[in-house]
A and B are shown apart, each in its own frame.
Chain A
Amino acid sequence: MVVGIGAPEPGEAERIDRLFHALADPTRRDIVRVVLHSEESVSALAQRYPMSFAAVQKHVAVLERAELVRKRRQGREQLVSGDIETLRSVNRLLDQYEAIWRDRIGRMDEILAETGDEIETTSKERNR
């Protein structure tokens, strides 16, 4: 089984960039937290933060482009809800990073468990 090393799929790279950009702001993170819990209108969200309706609307737009929230219209209101699948994918990325370091630290442990002589030998074996 070979997982190719190459350029990431074009759409995927931009998608991840948008995700991290969207989450790099405390207000946007809070909006995501709120709308994951329950659907809220943009005007209800605007009352939570010390900023204009337009500013909150902009934050919601950034989150929507990153697919972290969805928007739907109900009468004159725009209702915002969180997209749990996208958030899961951010966490999965970080989980994979964690796994890389856990593996490295596991290998460090193995090296530390050896004596000086063994380090020489095993290192040569590995380089064959």
Chain B
Amino acid sequence: MTVKDVEKDPANLTMVVTAEFDSPVERVWQLWADPRQLERWWGPPTYPATVVDHHLEPGGTVTYFMTGPEGDKHHGWWRIGTVDAPRELTMEDGFGDADGRPLTDRTGQLRMRLFEHEGGTRMELHDQFPTLEQMEEMLKMGMEEGLRQAVGQMDALL
């Protein structure tokens, strides 16, 4: 398993996820720093992400949209806090309106850190969730993906 540890704190609405990879720190950093790689893992296959702007610098923004099965588009953005390549990235993240303009009332905070670990990389994600809308929207997309996988597994059994 790549995911080594997940700590959830329901009261503070935070979650810390620790994962380990065999690849070096510089390579794992590219998953975040290269928009073409980022869009391959950010959204689930049923809601693939397309990265529009990608300015990974303090105060910079990353904007993207996720396209749903009906062609429906869901805009999202990051506002970069600090960048210490290839070790640390902090950001606010949130959703946008239909035109991609950031909705700033409900934003989460994410801190991503990379450490060298046994010849590979340990990634630590500290996620502070917003109260609601972003959470609901993310969860619905996540749930649909879960259903899709479950249906796929059933197909395989039949």
Residues of A that sit less than 8 Å from B by CB: 1-5, 7-8, 13, 16-17, 20, 23-26, 29, 90-91, 93-94, 96-109, 111-112, 119, 122-123, 126-127
Give chain B residues whose Cβ lies under 8 Å from the Cβ of A23: 10-11
User: What are 13 A-B pairs with beta-carbon distances under 8 A?
Assistant: A1-B144, A1-B148, A1-B151, A13-B133, A17-B132, A90-B10, A96-B142, A99-B142, A99-B146, A101-B125, A108-B21, A111-B41, A112-B22
- Contact, CB under 8 Å: B8 / A96: no
Query: CB of B72 within 8 A of chain A?
Result: yes
B2 engages A109 (CB within 8 Å):
yes
Determine the chain A residues whose CB is within 8 A of the CB of B8 once the complex forms: 91, 94, 97-98
- Check A101 against B127 for contact (C-beta < 8 Å): yes
Flag if A123 contacts B36 (CB, 8 Å).
yes
- Tell me the residues in window 117-158 of chain B with beta carbons closer than 8 Å to chain A beta carbons: 123, 125, 127, 129, 131-133, 135-148, 151
Contact for B17 among A24, A96, A98, CB less than 8 A: A98
Q: How far is the CA of A20 from the CA of B42 in the complex (A)?
A: 26
Q: How many residues of B contact A (CB 8 A)?
A: 52
**Do B131 and A20 touch (CB < 8 A)?**
yes
Question: SS class of chain A's interface: helix, strand, loop or mixed?
Answer: helix
**A13: which B residues are within 8 A, CB to CB?**
132-133, 136
How far is A43 from B74 in the complex, measured between Cα atoms in Å?
Answer: 50
When distances are taken between beta carbons in the complex, the residues of chain B under 8 Å from A91 are: 8, 10
| A94-B21 CB under 8 A given contacts A5-B137, A105-B3 | no
Beta-carbon nearest neighbor of B21 in chain A: A112
A5 and B48 form a contact (CB under 8 A): no
Q: Looking across the interface, which residue of chain B has its beta carbon closest to that of A100? A: B142
A23 → B minimal CB distance (Å): 4
CB atoms of A3 and B144 under 8 A apart: yes
Determine if B11 and A3 form an interchain contact, defined as CB atoms under 8 angstroms apart. no
Contacts of B52 in A (CB 8 A): none
Bound CA–CA A91/B9 (angstroms):
10
| Whole-angstrom distance between the Cβ of A90 and the nearest chain B Cβ | 5
Q: Can you list, as one digit per residue, whether each of B103-126 has a CB less than 8 Å from chain A (1) or not (0)?
A: 000000000000000000001010
Which chain B residue lies CB-closest to A1? B147
The answer for the CA separation of A123 and B72 in the assembled complex, in Å, is 21
Given A1-B147, A100-B138, A111-B37, the answer on whether A105 and B19 have CB atoms closer than 8 Å is yes
B98 at the interface (CB under 8 A from A): no
B151 partner residues in chain A, CB cutoff 8 A: 1
Bound form: Cα–Cα A112–B19 in Å: 13
